Structure 1
């Protein structure tokens, strides 16, 4: 059995709380399995928290406080940590932000919106304003900055390997004026080339496919089990249950097979960008 990996509590806030949780759990004589009982959270997530690889969700903090008799210690602190990490993001996205910085690979399926890692400020602003039409300008700009700044993960010494599949409709639906749509598509192509990402387009002519019900993100890690993130309008869910994660990954593999080749996809998005810039955009791919 390989030696366990202990997080260094001096490295980061998640490492500090993870080390504290492990210390208190062991002092209480509990295994990870025993601590997880009744929490509706998987053992892999608790293990990642103890290693400082992700933050603690509020529901789990409440559960841990009760099981370890810590008088609300984790509940009082995890919300402050999450706020610091997610400034400009929805609360349910806080753990995803931490995980994507430690991910070895990120695979995304985007049927409705360009993924945040590939968005331009103009596109992010339009998306936020459409979802929050009554929001103050300052709140909108905070979210735009938070969303576009996520791409700095690719500046790391060992950035995650990115694989993105976009639905054809995303490059043909005029979410912005022509010039800004051209800038968005050119930005996507530039990011794909700069990060050596794998980029595919799923054509409408492909018909039915395994992931018709919504977007997903699969994140794999060098020293932890993979997780899947699914999102809807006002909520998101991290899935770490291994059999379910396996099903999602198999569905994503089937989607890859149905999509256009990376070379053809990149050529099409660059052609579409030129069409928007020249006012020749069509409603669907030829």
Structure 2
């Protein structure tokens, strides 16, 4: 996969970190202990594979006595990202994940959205935004989905709550096209999609979206998001809890074939509704 300018910039961040760490006479493990992360994570930062959280960048400045250069660089890189600060690293990690598992309780996941659906979601949350802002957000979301058609695409498992299929985001025509995209991804084996029926009632993850990611050469992560913020989790015990919650969700879903039948039926209902309006 071709590297983005954003990735090149983070690799420069990592090279600078390595240079300043070695000048201070510290090993990766020694620096890690002082900024409260593992030495392995310092190594991933230096390779540009992982991005430190802001508080870690600030602590690195304090330990290496670099006058705030890592905090300032972090802020500039985040400001250039088309994503919210709490999602920027998640978007980068999607591009190197070997497996992604998602649970969507209300809205179709970004990787499955059509441009029209993404626009409707963005307008709903930013009703006073300029058109350039809306277009940037929509384009960034659609560009992310390219990972599903690449030669190194990840395994993509998706549990959709039935509400995400029945909530008419953008109107009937937009929903029909979005559900068609979901079924196409499933039929072409780019995604494995199952539906969590509303009749299940209470379920294992009631607090927003959940995304699990696995990688070839780094520990798995979990990401949870609510309406106003998101949290990237990499503590092994917490990630294990999130994986168990996802397993519990999966055992409560319809079969893949029954799920696609429900999605295709809903798409037809939306098409009929669109044709009569």
Note whether the superposition's TM-score is higher than 0.5: yes
Q: Of 154, 170, 180, which residue of structure 2 is paired with 1:176?
A: 170
The structure-2 alpha-carbon separation of the partners of 1:42 and 1:250, relative to structure 1 and needing over 3 Å to count, comes to farther
How far residue 82 of structure 1 moved from its aligned partner, in angstroms, is 2.6
Matches within 5 A, 1:1-286: 12-37=8-33, 39=35, 45-84=41-80, 86-87=81-82, 89-279=83-273
Instruction: Give yes or no for contact 2:222–2:239 (8 Å, CA) kept in 1.
Output: yes
Deviations 1:215-251 (A, max 9, x none): 1111110000001111122211111111111111111
Question: Which deviates further from its counterpart, 17-26 or 222-231?
Answer: 17-26
CA 235–42 in structure 1, closer or farther in 2 if over 3 Å, else same: farther
Equivalent pair of 1:55/1:98 in contact (CA under 8 Å)? no
Q: TM-score, normalised by structure 2?
A: 0.89
> What TM-score do the two structures reach when normalised by structure 1?
0.86
1:138 Cα deviation after fit: 2.1
The SS at the match of 2:231 is strand
Residues matched between the structures, number: 268
- Secondary structure, counterpart of 1:278 in structure 2: helix
SS of the residue aligned with 1:134?
coil
CA RMSD, aligned part only?
2.1
Give the C-alpha shift of residue 56 in structure 1: 3.1
Q: How far apart are 1:38 and its partner, in Å? A: 6.4
SS of residue in 2 equivalent to 1:147: helix
Structure 2 spans left out of the alignment, 5+ residues: 1-6
Quote the Cα distance in structure 2 between the aligned partners of 1:263 and 1:44: 42
Pair 43,278 (structure 1): closer, same or farther in 2 beyond 3 Å:
farther
Are the aligned partners of 1:199 and 1:266 in contact in 2 as well (CA < 8 Å)? yes
Segments of structure 1 that go 5 or more residues without pairing to the other structure are: 1-10, 281-286
**Deviation per residue, 1:82-137 (Å, 9 max, x gap):** 333x22x2121111111111111111010021111011111111111111112122
